């Protein structure tokens, strides 16, 4: 679409519209895709609005039921932890298939809920004292561990049982399917022009092989493995061991603990809130500069074309 003259004309016509209704796209090649994209953006905006509205009664319901944030947070882990390993393996393991992911996610969630309720029922009062017993640390821990563990084990076993192809065959097969997924409005040549040093973004068919892609993103893969593994070790081993080593904190230890927690919170909030905002602002600025450059080049080309036409008419 970037190199399509008809799309550029459609964009320019829409930019000059001052009313509420935009003209229809006239490009025969991309009009359907651009209309579809606009509808998706429209649905996305309404989904955000209705999700925001529904959060209000849900929050009031949790408040009326005396559910605290800790209970809701840990219970959410039981519900969604079973999807963590299947989703990760869908990217990292070529033999993971749809059956394994579905069975692992659903059966893992059911196993986690069953173990959570079963453990909570062993306390005095059983499930009749629901919020108190189900909110204890041990039932929540058991439910989360069973959910994530069963989700991973079942997804692997089912995938191995239902997929007889070799890892290499699956890699090539999945890569060919992935290569066929492309966005006509922003083809892969525009997205990966820098990584693969593509001189002409209109060469859509010269797609790289799997080995070329692995080699191009080798550094990013190493960083992802190191960062992911380091955070996993920190949050799952070092942090819990450090907490378990101290039974009761004194005032100074409590101050250190709260300071680290606040620092972690602010750093995380900075990355979640500030960094995406800065990235979007930089992307918008670069796009604006690119549009101004393209507009300037178009004006120069139009002037040269007008001069050539005037010169030819003079000779005629």
Identify the pLDDT of residue 103: 94
Q: Are 51 and 44 in contact (CB under 8 A)?
A: no
Q: Are 201 and 187 in contact (CB under 8 A)?
A: yes
What is the per-residue pLDDT across 91-141, written as a single tens digit (0 to 9) for each? 888 788 889 999 999 999 999 999 999 999 999 988 888 888 998 999 999
CA separation for the pair 190, 193 (Å, rounded): 5
How does the average pLDDT of the chain come out, rounded? 81
Is the pLDDT at 243 greater than 90? The verdict is no
Give, as one character, the DSSP assignment of residue 128.
G
Q: What is the CA radius of gyration of the chain?
A: 28
- Where do the structural domains in the chain lie, given as residue ranges? 1-65, 68-164, 249-316
Is the pLDDT at 241 greater than 90? The verdict is no
Q: Are 155 and 100 in contact (CB under 8 A)?
A: yes
Look up tokens 């905006």; give the residue. 45
């Amino acid at each position: 679409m970037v190199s399509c003259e008809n799309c550029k004309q459609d964009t320019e016509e829409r930019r000059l519209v001052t009313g509420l209704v935009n003209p229809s796209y006239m490009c025969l090649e991309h009009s359907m895709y651009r209309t579809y994209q606009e509808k998706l953006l429209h649905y996305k905006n309404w989904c955000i609005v209705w999700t925001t509205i529904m959060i209000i009664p849900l929050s009031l319901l949790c408040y009326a039921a005396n559910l605290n944030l800790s209970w809701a947070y840990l219970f959410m882990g039981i519900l969604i932890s079973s999807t963590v390993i299947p989703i990760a393996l869908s990217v990292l393991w070529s033999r993971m298939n749809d059956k394994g992911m579905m069975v692992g996610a659903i059966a893992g969630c059911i196993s986690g809920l069953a173990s959570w309720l079963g453990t909570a029922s062993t306390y005095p009062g059983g499930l009749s004292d629901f919020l108190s017993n189900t909110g204890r640390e041990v039932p929540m821990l058991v439910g989360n561990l069973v959910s994530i563990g069963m989700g991973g084990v079942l997804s692997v076993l089912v995938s191995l049982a239902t997929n007889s192809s070799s890892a290499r065959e699956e890699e090539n097969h999945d890569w060919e399917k992935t290569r066929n997924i492309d966005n006509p409005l922003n083809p892969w040549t525009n997205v990966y022009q820098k990584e693969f040093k593509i001189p002409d973004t209109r060469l859509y068919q010269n797609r790289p092989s799997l080995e070329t892609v692995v080699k191009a993103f080798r550094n990013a893969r190493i960083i992802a493995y190191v960062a992911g593994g380091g955070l996993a070790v920190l949050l799952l081993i070092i942090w819990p061991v450090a907490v378990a080593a101290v039974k009761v904190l004194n005032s100074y230890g409590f101050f250190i603990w709260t300071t680290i927690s606040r620092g972690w919170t602010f750093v995380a909030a900075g990355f979640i809130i500030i960094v995406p905002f800065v990235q979007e602002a930089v992307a918008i600025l670069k796009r604006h500069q690119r549009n101004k450059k393209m507009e300037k080049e178009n004006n120069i080309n139009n002037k040269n074309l007008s001069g050539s036409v005037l010169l030819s008419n003079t000779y005629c």
